[in-house]
A and B are shown apart, each in its own frame.
Chain A
Amino acid sequence: DIQMTQSPSTLSASIGDRVTITCRASQSISSWLAWYQQKPGTAPKVLVYKASTLQSGVPSRFSGSRSGTEFTLTISSLQPDDFATYYCQQYNSYSPTFGPGTKVD
């Protein structure tokens, strides 16, 4: 299995802050990576796929990038609705795997 790690596990931020979450893959996954946002009691919602493509309807303050096996989700200016847990997911292998999550509070 391809292992995914995320850092930090928890991130304390304020409204208007620029927030960066990092996800690393244990081997090359090309750009086959998605980012999800999950709020308590609800299902994850995709924000970004193929490392940097913003899903339709997702605010432009969210962006994704890739450098080798390191991926970054950036929120340019944190809004009240953005306090949530964020997960990365690789889909390069026949057994997709998720990162452990980053909670933004």
Chain B
Amino acid sequence: QVQLQESGPGLVKPSETLSLTCTVSGGSITSYYWSWIRQPPGKGLEWIGYIYYSTTTNYNPSLKSRVTISLDTSKNQLSLNLTSVTAADTAVYYCARSRNYLDWFGPWGQGTLVTVSS
């Protein structure tokens, strides 16, 4: 059974770059679509973007200028970089799998809280 686990710094300074990693176990990362989704404290869910086969990416238009998602197939990991962060980027960040580019998400990682503060 595939499992996902997010990791990365819990605190990032304003204007800096948020970098997270999601390690996938129990299955290959070279299949399926892999997304990042975030949830500000006490608020709803926002899809950030997905990657497929290291070559195909699609980002939320509202974040596209600041987001990069990549795959490291040798480590079975996906990564998220979000530049020029502000307090509005404070959220729990989840990685999740989908079977297609237009699909529901599952399974999800447990999520990791990232706080943007000086």
Contacts and interface: CB of A to CB of B under 8 A. Distances in A.
Given A89-B104, A89-B105, A92-B102, A43 B47 contact: no
A104 to B, nearest CB: 15
Interface residues of B, number: 20
Contacts of A8: none
Interface stretch (B7-15, B22-30, B78-86, B108-116): B108-116
A34 B44 contact: no
Interface in A41-93: 42-46, 49, 55, 87, 89, 91-93
Given A91-B102, A94-B58, A94-B101, A42 B110 contact: yes
Main secondary structure of the interface of B (DSSP, over half): loop
A32 B102 contact: yes
A98 B48 CA distance: 12
A95 B44 contact: no
A97 interface: yes
Given A32-B102, A46-B104, A49-B104, A96 B110 contact: no
B12 to A, nearest CB: 21
A92 B58 CA distance: 14
Contact of B46 (A43, A49, A92, A98): A98
A94 B104 CA distance: 12
B78 to A, nearest CB: 16
B60 A95 contact: yes
Interface in B50-73: 58, 60-61
Contacts of B60: 95
Given A91-B98, A91-B103, A92-B102, 10 more contacts: A34-B104, A43-B108, A43-B110, A44-B105, A44-B108, A49-B104, A89-B45, A94-B101, A94-B102, A98-B46
7 contacts: A43-B109, A45-B108, A55-B106, A91-B103, A93-B102, A97-B47, A98-B46
Interface of B: 44-47, 58, 60-61, 94, 96, 98, 101-106, 108-111
